[in-house]
């Protein structure tokens, strides 16, 4: 049975959290952040390309056609063909599916693990917090691309290993940000009241702490999406990421950036444009999410 004191604690929690419906938050973001709305439109377009890739093109992205090698843009191949005679538009559309799969998988797993680690580190403190933060410091001492290259060099190329390599650096970044917010929440009176009532640690963490760190968690999640897409493209360009014949933007750029820069520039131009637009869109959308959810920026 719920006691009067417990009801008061829950009421304090709801009052202090001051949450708005997500629909209202999205509406405000679109109205006050037009650049964020533009970034969101790019993200939605990219998602639709990935979902409906089979419908948007009639070509197979993995089938070679020697008679159409390096065909220039025309009525048949709108963006031209690559060195194996494959339609570039088709491979860019299917490449969006690869980029989204890697990006969302890395961002969601990395952010979620960081959320758990950051909240647990802040709540339990002591030796556990000390050990976790020193491990976080060590991992964050390495640049993202260097750490990702080291992991891929150890595990080998391939989509699964690329996801692992990109996810590992994301965990300590999210854990550090979430921990800083969770430390402040731990000292709020309603958490002390919950402890005094005998609530379990899991109940306090899940009901009182996690909901109040969702704003920084979502900010980190959206920022990771663009980073993951760029890192995947970088690893694929270096030949240590997604492998042929899987359509991937970085892999397409690797195949035409140098050898065909003068004779068939479209082989390198269009994958580069796709990478730039995707990262640009996710960064704009992530910045608008940060400006909308961060109370310090929202009050300006």
Residue 25 scores a pLDDT above 80: no
166 touches 226 (CB < 8 A): no
Res 16: pLDDT: 40
CATH of region 32-53+77-298? 1.10.3720.10
Res 4: pLDDT: 38
Cα three-residue angle 32-221-154, rounded to 5 degrees: 150
Mean pLDDT (the chain, rounded): 85
Residue 182, token pair as written in the block: 């969770």
- Cα–Cα distance for residue pair 50/55, rounded to 1 Å: 10
**168-220 residue pLDDT tens:** 999 999 999 999 999 988 888 877 788 778 888 888 888 888 888 998 899 89
**115-161 residue pLDDT tens:** 999 999 999 988 999 999 999 999 999 998 999 999 999 999 989 99
Instruction: Name which of 228, 220, 105 is nearest 160 in CA terms.
Output: 105
**269-291 residue pLDDT tens:** 999 999 999 999 999 998 888 87
- Cα–Cα distance for residue pair 115/171, rounded to 1 Å: 8
Average pLDDT over residues 244-254: 89
């Amino acid at each position: 049975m719920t006691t009067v004191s417990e009801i008061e604690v829950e009421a304090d929690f709801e009052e202090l959290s001051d949450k708005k419906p997500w629909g209202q938050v999205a509406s405000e973001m679109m109205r006050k952040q037009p650049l964020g709305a533009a970034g969101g439109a790019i993200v939605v377009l990219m998602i639709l390309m990935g979902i409906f890739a089979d419908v948007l093109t009639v070509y197979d992205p993995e089938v070679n056609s020697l008679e159409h090698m390096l065909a220039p843009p025309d009525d048949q191949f709108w963006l031209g063909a690559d060195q194996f005679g494959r339609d570039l538009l088709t491979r860019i559309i299917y490449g969006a599916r690869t980029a989204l799969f890697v990006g969302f998988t890395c961002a969601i797993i990395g952010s979620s693990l960081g959320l758990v680690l950051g909240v647990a580190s802040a709540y339990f403190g002591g030796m556990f917090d000390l050990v976790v933060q020193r491990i976080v410091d060590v991992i964050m001492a390495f640049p993202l691309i260097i750490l990702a290259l080291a992991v891929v060099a150890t595990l080998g190329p391939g989509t699964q290993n690329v996801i692992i390599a990109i996810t590992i650096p994301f965990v300590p970044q999210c854990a550090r940000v979430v921990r800083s917010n969770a430390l402040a929440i731990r000292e709020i009176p309603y958490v002390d009241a919950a402890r005094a009532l005998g609530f379990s640690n899991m109940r306090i963490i899940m009901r009182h702490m996690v909901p109040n760190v969702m704003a920084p968690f979502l900010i980190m999640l959206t920022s990771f999406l663009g980073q993951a897409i760029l890192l995947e493209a970088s690893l694929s360009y270096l030949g240590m990421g997604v492998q042929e014949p899987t359509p991937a933007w970085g892999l397409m750029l690797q195949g035409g950036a140098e050898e065909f820069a003068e004779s068939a520039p479209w082989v390198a131009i269009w994958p580069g444009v796709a990478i730039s637009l995707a990262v640009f869109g996710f960064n704009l959308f992530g910045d608008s999410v940060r400006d909308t959810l961060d109370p310090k920026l929202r009050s300006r």
